[in-house]
Amino acid sequence: MCPDSAPATRYRARGQSINKALVSAWHKRLGDYTKVVTLLLIMGNGFWDYRRKELFEREQARECARELASCLVHEAFKKIETTERGAQSRNVFLAFAYLGRAKTILRDRFEEVRRKLYEKAKERLLAPDFSEEELKRVVEEGLSRGLNIQLPIEMGNHAFHYGFVAEMFSLETYDHHIGYSKEYGWADILGHVYEQERGLKDYIYILMREKINTWREWLPEIGSSVRGVGGWLEKLEKNINDPDWLSKVEDLLLRVAYFGVEIDSDDA
């Protein structure tokens, strides 16, 4: 063996050992990078799954609002078409209030629908006791009320809560001047005194049941399910069938001044 061969062998072995250590360290680091990249990919997939779900829910909420707006417009025309003499003023007010609520959704179509509804009212309802001047006045009052409570652009199932029904009830009974006193309970200007135990629950139920039936009849006409997109109408129907849920609507009407219930001053 050459005298210098032993050191050379040692240097080669040391170099190989260093190379193995470097390769091992590199593999370890590469493995760490791979884990990070994999984690980021998983997180990315989770993010896009979340975004897809969010976009789907928002589009469904928009479609829900469009369905409700269409139901309100249908109800407005039906209100005009079925009005009998003596009820012109009240029903015109409500019909145009419904239309005003739908303005946000109708957007560019609003003026066209407004004109058609006005012409329908003019054609059917003008009479010696209901002049066109009176018609125009009531139309503007109804529109003004509806525009103050316009539907939002998006309405998920969560939007059909106690406040939604309380607002509908308040609109429908705008001329009844409903009041409350601890001694007598609920009453209105028409002379109705509501049974204390049941309060307004029967009245709220009947009013919303009629609306739900009207909306359910209309939804298939616009290519929608009778449940409403996402089942909003079905959920609303389930809610009004629950007396405890109706009690919360009644409580909201009583406690929030926005809804216009008149409280007896002696109870204040």
Tens-digit pLDDT profile for residues 124-182: 999 999 999 999 999 999 999 999 999 999 987 778 899 999 999 999 998 888 888 88
Rounded CA separation 89/76 (Å): 13
Backbone angles phi, psi at 185, to 5 degrees: 80, -140
- End-to-end C-alpha distance for the chain, whole angstroms: 115
What's the pLDDT tens digit per position in 42-93? 666 665 465 555 565 678 889 999 999 999 999 999 999 999 988 999 999 9
Rounded CA separation 156/60 (Å): 7
Is residue 100 a contact partner of residue 150, using CB atoms and an 8 Å limit? yes
Rounded CA separation 154/42 (Å): 31
Name the pTM for this structure: 0.78
Backbone angles phi, psi at 130, to 5 degrees: -150, 90
Q: What is the mean pLDDT of the chain?
A: 84
Structure tokens at 267: 């109870």
> What pLDDT band is residue 23 in, cutting at 50, 70 and 90?
very low
Domain boundaries defined on the chain: 156-268
